[in-house]
Chains A and B, each alone.
Chain A
Amino acid sequence: MTAASQQPQSGPEPGPEPGPPRGPEARALTDGLPCAWLRLAPDGRILEAAAGTEQLVGAPPGSLAGREFDELLTLPSRVVYQTHLLPLLRLAGNTAELSLMLRGASGATLDVLFYSQRRADTTLDVLLAPIRQRRRIEDELVRVKRAADQAPMMVFQLLCEGGQPQRFPYASQTVRELYGCSPEVAAQSAEAVLAALEPASRERLCEALTTAARGNAPCRVQLQRRAAAGQPAAVHEFVATPRALASGAVLWHGYSADVTERLRLEREATQRSAAEESARVRKAFLARASHELRTPLNAILGFAQLLGRDGGSGLRPEQQQALGVLQSAGRHMLSLVNRLLDLSRAETEGFAPTLQPLALRPELEAVLEAMRPQAAERGVALHGPAPGRDAVVMADALSLRQLLTNLMSNAVKYNRPGGRVELDWAAAAPGRVCVTVADTGVGLGAAQREHLFEPFNRLGAEASATEGTGLGLVLARQLARALGGDIAVESMRGVGSRFSFELARAEGEPASGQGAGDAALAPACAGTVLYVEDNEVNVLLMRALLALRPGVTLLTAGSGAAAEALLDAPGTPPLQLLLLDLNLPDTDGHTLLQRLRARPALAAVPAVLVTAAAEESIGPVQGGVGFAERWIKPLEVDATLAALDQLLAPARP
Chain B
Amino acid sequence: MNALTRSNVVIRGQGQRPMVFAHGFGCDQNMWRFVAPAFEASHRVVLFDHVGCGQSDLSAFDEQRHARIEGWAQDVVDILEAADLHDAVFVGHSVSATIGLLASNAAPGRIGALAMLCPSPRYLNDPPDYVGGFERSDIDALLDMVENNMLGWANFLAPLAMGADSAPELVDELKASFCAIDPYITRRFAAATFLGDNRDDVPRLAVPALVVEMAQDAIAPPSVGQWLRERLPRARFEQLAGSGHCPHMTHPAETTELLRRFVGAGG
Q: Does B10 contact A (CB under 8 A)?
A: yes
Q: Which of A107-157 contact B (CB under 8 A)?
A: 115, 117, 138-139, 141-142, 146
Contacts A75-B218, A83-B27 given; does A44 touch B244 at CB 8 Å: yes
> Which one of A16, A43, A84, A95 lies within 8 Å of B27 (CB-CB)?
A84
11 contacts across the A-B interface (CB closer than 8 A): A9-B33, A75-B138, A78-B218, A82-B218, A82-B219, A83-B245, A87-B26, A94-B161, A96-B161, A97-B156, A99-B152
Does B130 make an interface contact (CB < 8 A)?
Answer: no
Residue of A82, A138, A141 touching B245 (CB-CB under 8 A): A82
A interface residues, how many (CB within 8 angstroms): 53
Tell me the complex Cα distance, A74–B219, Å: 12
Among candidates A75, A82, A91, A98, residue contacting B178 with C-beta atoms closer than 8 Å: A91
Q: Please, how many angstroms separate the alpha-carbon atoms of A314 and B141 in the complex?
A: 112
Report B28-42 CB contacts with A as 1/0, cut-off 8 Å: 111101101100100
A sample of 13 more A-B contacts (CB under 8 A), given A8-B40, A43-B242, A76-B144, is A2-B55, A42-B250, A68-B216, A75-B142, A83-B246, A86-B244, A86-B250, A95-B160, A96-B160, A98-B157, A180-B59, A182-B58, A184-B182
Which residues of chain B have C-beta atoms less than 8 A from A76's C-beta? 138-139, 141-142, 144-145
Give the residues from 241 to 258 in chain B that come closer than 8 angstroms, CB to CB, to chain A. Answer: 242-246, 249-252
B contacts, CB < 8 Å to A: 8, 10, 24-31, 33-34, 36-37, 40, 47, 49, 54-55, 58-59, 94, 133-134, 138-139, 141-142, 144-149, 151-154, 156-157, 159-163, 173-174, 176-179, 181-182, 184, 194, 216, 218-219, 242-246, 249-252
In the assembled complex, the Cα of A181 lies from the Cα of B184 at a distance in Å of 12
Residues of B within 8 A of A43 (CB): 242, 244, 250-251
Q: Which residues of B contact A290 (CB under 8 A)?
A: none
User: Cβ of B179 and Cβ of A94 under 8 Å apart?
Assistant: no
Given the contacts A97-B152, A97-B156, A6 and B33 also touching, CB distance less than 8 Å: yes
B59 contacts across to A, CB distance below 8 A: 180-182
A176 CB contacts on chain B under 8 angstroms: 184
B-contact 0/1 string along A364-397, CB 8 Å cutoff: 0000000000000000000000000000000000
Task: Report, nearest first, the 4 A-B pairs whose CB atoms are least far apart.
Answer: A96-B160, A8-B37, A83-B26, A76-B142
Q: Which residue of B lies closest to A77 (CB)?
A: B145
B177–A83 touching, CB < 8 Å = no
CA distance A347 to B54 in the complex (A): 67
What is the CB-to-nearest-CB distance from B258 to chain A, in angstroms, rounded to a whole number? 17
Q: Is A79 an interface residue (CB 8 A)?
A: yes
Given contacts A87-B26, A98-B149, A176-B184, contact A44 B243 (CB under 8 A): yes
Contact among B10, B55, B156, B182 for A182, CB-based, below 8 A: B182
Task: Kindly report which residue of chain B lies nearest to residue A115, judged by CB atoms.
Answer: B160
Q: Is A173 an interface residue (CB 8 A)?
A: yes
How far is B28's CA from A4's CA once the two chains are assembled, in angstroms?
12
- Decide if B162 touches A94 in the complex (CB within 8 Å): yes
Question: A185 at the A/B interface (Cβ < 8 Å)?
Answer: yes
Instruction: Say yes or no: is A11 at the interface (Cβ < 8 Å to chain B).
Output: yes
Interface residues of A in 161-185 (CB under 8 A from B): 173, 176, 180-185
Q: Could you say which residues of chain B place their CB within 8 Å of the CB of A87?
A: 26-27, 30-31, 178-179, 246, 249
Instruction: Give the interface centre of B31, B145, B173, B184 by most chain A CB atoms within 10 Å.
Output: B145
Roughly how many angstroms separate A184 CA and B154 CA in the complex, as a whole number? 9
Asked whether B24 lies within 8 Å of A83 as measured between CB atoms, the reply is: yes
- Set of chain A residues within 8 Å of B177, measured between Cβ atoms: 1-3, 6
How far in angstroms is the closest Cβ of chain A from B52? 9
Q: Decide yes or no whether A90 CB sits under 8 A from chain B.
A: yes
* Best-buried of A3, A9, A138, A184 by chain B (most CB within 10 Å): A3
Complex Cα distance A173/B26, Å?
A: 20
Q: A101–B145 contact, CB under 8 A?
A: yes
Q: How far is the CA of A94 from the CA of B151 in the complex (A)?
A: 18
